[in-house]
A and B are shown apart, each in its own frame.
Chain A
Amino acid sequence: MTIFSTDHKVIGKQYIGLSLFAVLIGMALSLVMRYHLVHPDAKVRLFQMLWPDGAPGGQMTPELYLSLMTMHGTIMVFFVLTTAPQSGFGNYFLPLQIGAHDMAFPVLNMLSFWTTALSFLVLMAAFVVEGGAPLSGWTAYPPLSALGKIAGPGQGLGQDLWVLSIALFCVASLMAAINFIATIIELRAPGVGYFDMPLTAWAWFVTALISLFAFAVLLAGGILLLLDRVAGTSFFIPGGLVVSDQIQARSGGSPILFQHLFWFFGHPEVYIAILPGMGVISTVLSVFSGKKVFGYRAMAYALLAIGGLGFLVWGHHMFISGMSPYSSVAFSVLTLAIGVPSAIKTFNWIATLWGGRIRFTAAMLYALGFVSLFITGGVTGLVLGQPGLDLYFHDTYFVVAHFHLIMGVAAIFAIFAALHYWFPLLYGRFLNETLGKIHFYGTFIGVYAVFVPLHFAGIAGNPRRYPDFKEYEFLKSLMPLHVGVTHAAYSLAAIQLLFFFNYFWSQRKGKLADKNPWGAATREWTHD
């Protein structure tokens, strides 16, 4: 196996490996954050060793917390959820499912993986440069992200690297999107029409279309932001600012303009993260209930509808931003409209199970868990999609709970389901079923225990992105809740070790799999 391989199977595995590595880092950061939130005054030797400037004497500074939060969010969204479900599994299985010999442009495919890897390295470098990693969140709103060092530690070189990393990631994702779409349009085997493709292939198709439109816009935003930082332009920096007692020589820029560019990408991005997972779940539910997917065509159209409508709702992240209050009204109606195809999917998943013969394999358990989490995370979207209600919930822990459940954890469950389901094809062996089931039960209970209580912090008005809760009376009363969440997060993380053990152990020692062990009907199993 060569490193710069152009074989879609190797590249798929490389993407999966990159995301598994990234998720380990992202998870470790989240534990450090949760620890700090409930022990804000603790002095920890390990922190001092890892971040001598950010944790002098082991005491974590607020800017270190915020930079860990920024890196956690960025790693999880880009290098886990955008990488494994689409580029990882898609690369490996899309050609097999539609009967293509490889992706349409194998060299481009190799380049997009290595650009992604480079982008990851550039992001990691932000940890070690002077001033440390940036602290303006994965959304990087200017002027905070545009002003440079003067706006805080990490806002110097660290933020430059962040923007550069995202720009590289955009380029890599555009190359991948072109490859996926061209493969599906041109390389389907004779007799494989669009509506003969499995829903996984449909999901990768729609996701690639979304990426093609969304990442180009983020790239534009990133370029303009970088110029504001290094070339003295005023795209997003208004005139007359006084930062750290210094008058800034800029004029006329619009901070909200960046938010429009960012969320025009950002909302579709959550679908980029979740649609491939939806495809996997549809397949796994159908295979292990012994039934065809209920309403196959409706499911394919729902994917398209979500992909298309997804470009019309970005304003629901900006109800409170100062944009025209009239546009909020329009955005909110469109937002709740997009709930409809999501609800269709949920009902159709349940209808797929109805009347079936359900085999509780580990993959199936994750798929069932996904549906449950998708409901739990989805219903709160009906709260946040209303501008009137967002007047209170915007940027509180209610939002943290909502997006972790529906985007973060649900998509991770889809990754687990996919790994258990496809492992026999990836490595010729099974992942250990017993370990898989134990891991499932622990994880399922764990994510409910971590994220459901956070809604109540949000209902009490707890703002997100706070390094500690010492300053406010009303936050002190929430400490018992946060302590509970942190303990649940420790257990949740501990359970993940089981998965990683299983993953590496089973590659060598797992039970050997014969051809098509699950009795699936799609081409990757039935053809050689």
Chain B
Amino acid sequence: MTNVARTGQTLLIVASSMLFAAFTSAMVVRRATGTDWIAPSVPVWLWAAALLALSASWLVMRGLYRPAALCGFLLVASQIAYAASLRMGDVAQSFAAVLVTAHAAHALFGACALWWKGERASLFWHFAGALWLYVLWLIGVWA
């Protein structure tokens, strides 16, 4: 990977991190100020989706970019299925929907990049994987 590509990806990662940091702080504040917080339920299969992200990262390290991208697409599909099941009238669920959908957008971008650009997109993919673990923790444990 060229330096320029690596720097660009790092900056993209910073911007994405800021986006999720903003969602997170909104969530922390909203939970503390409202009295209507009910923890969302996270189905087991969504936890299993974490395995998809991890295996994709593992495949990337093996140089198997297209299979990794396929894992990525599966992850996106499971995320969309979960987000679609949430009720926007409930605040904790609506935050979960925002976080999962925002992540799905990142994962889709990352998987497409893996498919077409291979190795050059690996850094971003690892970030997306770690970010997914964070999102799962946020909605499944913290909330």
A and B touch in their complex, CB below 8 angstroms: yes
Binding site for B on A (CB under 8 A): 104-105, 174, 177-179, 181-182, 185-187, 212-213, 215-217, 219-221, 223-224, 227, 231-235, 239, 249, 251-254, 257, 260-261, 264
A174–B22 Cα distance when bound, in Å, is: 15
Contact B8 A232 (CB under 8 A): no
Contact B12 A239 (CB under 8 A): no
B39 to chain A, nearest CB (A): 15
Contact partners of B12 in chain A: CB under 8 A: 178
Listed from nearest, the 9 A-B pairs whose CB atoms lie closest are: A252-B34, A216-B18, A220-B22, A252-B36, A233-B94, A217-B22, A178-B11, A216-B19, A231-B88
A502 to chain B, nearest CB (A): 39
Q: Does B4 contact A (CB under 8 A)?
A: yes
Contact B91 A186 (CB under 8 A): no
For B, the interface residue count at a CB cutoff of 8 angstroms equals 28
Q: Does B7 contact A (CB under 8 A)?
A: yes
B26 to chain A, nearest CB (A): 6
A479–B46 Cα distance when bound, in Å, is: 64
Q: Does B14 contact A (CB under 8 A)?
A: yes
Contact partners of B85 in chain A: CB under 8 A: none
Determine which residue in B3, B8, B23, B33 has the highest number of CB atoms from chain A within 10 A of its CB, and name it.
B8
Which of A213, A219, A220, A254 is within 8 Å of B29, CB to CB?
Answer: A254
Contact with A along B23-59 (1 / 0, CB 8 A): 1001001100111110000000000000000000000
A254–B35 Cα distance when bound, in Å, is: 11
Contact A223 B29 (CB under 8 A): no
Contact B22 A233 (CB under 8 A): no
Nearest CB to that of B12 among chain A residues?
A178
Contact partners of A251 in chain B: CB under 8 A: 34, 36, 91
Q: Write 5 A-B pairs (CB below 8 A) sorted by A numbering.
A: A182-B8, A212-B18, A220-B26, A224-B23, A257-B30
Contact B36 A239 (CB under 8 A): yes
Contact partners of A220 in chain B: CB under 8 A: 19, 22-23, 26
Knowing A182-B4, A251-B36, A252-B35, the reply to whether A234 touches B11 (Cβ < 8 A) is no
A217–B20 Cα distance when bound, in Å, is: 9
B28 to chain A, nearest CB (A): 10
Which of A177, A221, A235 is within 8 Å of B91, CB to CB?
Answer: A235
Contact partners of B21 in chain A: CB under 8 A: 217
A251–B92 Cα distance when bound, in Å, is: 12
Nearest CB to that of A171 among chain B residues?
B15
Contact B26 A261 (CB under 8 A): yes
Knowing A177-B11, A257-B30, the reply to whether A232 touches B22 (Cβ < 8 A) is no
Contact B26 A187 (CB under 8 A): no
Contact partners of A105 in chain B: CB under 8 A: 4, 8
Which of A227, A261, A264 is within 8 Å of B94, CB to CB?
Answer: A227
